[in-house]
Amino acid sequence: MTPGVDILKTNPTKKKKVKKGKTKTKISKKKYLRIKCPICFNNLGKESISSTICGHVFCTNCLLTAIRVRAVCPTCRRSLKGNKAHHLLYLDEDSEELASP
């Protein structure tokens, strides 16, 4: 044992015993992340989505309206001036399930 080093002893993990010939199958359902616009609180995915240069995601309409009022990110207040301040996000058709209730 090295002096000055504490060793934490843990219990070994218990393993489940499975009879021979039987296999356990784990059925996993896909869980989809539901992302909401922090301005209007609608689920994102059905309408166009935009991301700011700081990485925050909004409905495109909400973000454009907010930028017209004040050119900062509505979440972190980072300056959003210029044409590279935000960009559209394009999701594939399977991402429609992101916004489903």
Reported as a single tens digit per residue, the pLDDT across 43-54 is: 887 788 999 999
Residue 66's pLDDT is what?
A: 93
- Over residues 66-94, the mean pLDDT reads 87
Output the pLDDT for position 1: 47
For the chain, the domains span 49-99
pTM: 0.57
Check whether 37 has a pLDDT greater than 70.
yes
Tell me the backbone φ, ψ of residue 92, rounded to 5 degrees: -75, 175
Amino acid identity at 51: S
Are the CB atoms for 74 and 86 separated by under 8 Å? no
Average pLDDT along the chain: 75
Which of the listed CATH numbers 3.40.140.10, 3.40.190.170, 3.40.640.10, 3.30.40.10 matches domain 49-99?
3.30.40.10
Return left, alpha or beta for 77; rule: phi > 0 is left, psi -120 to 50 is alpha, else beta. Answer: left
**In the predicted model, what is the mean pLDDT of residues 16-31?**
59
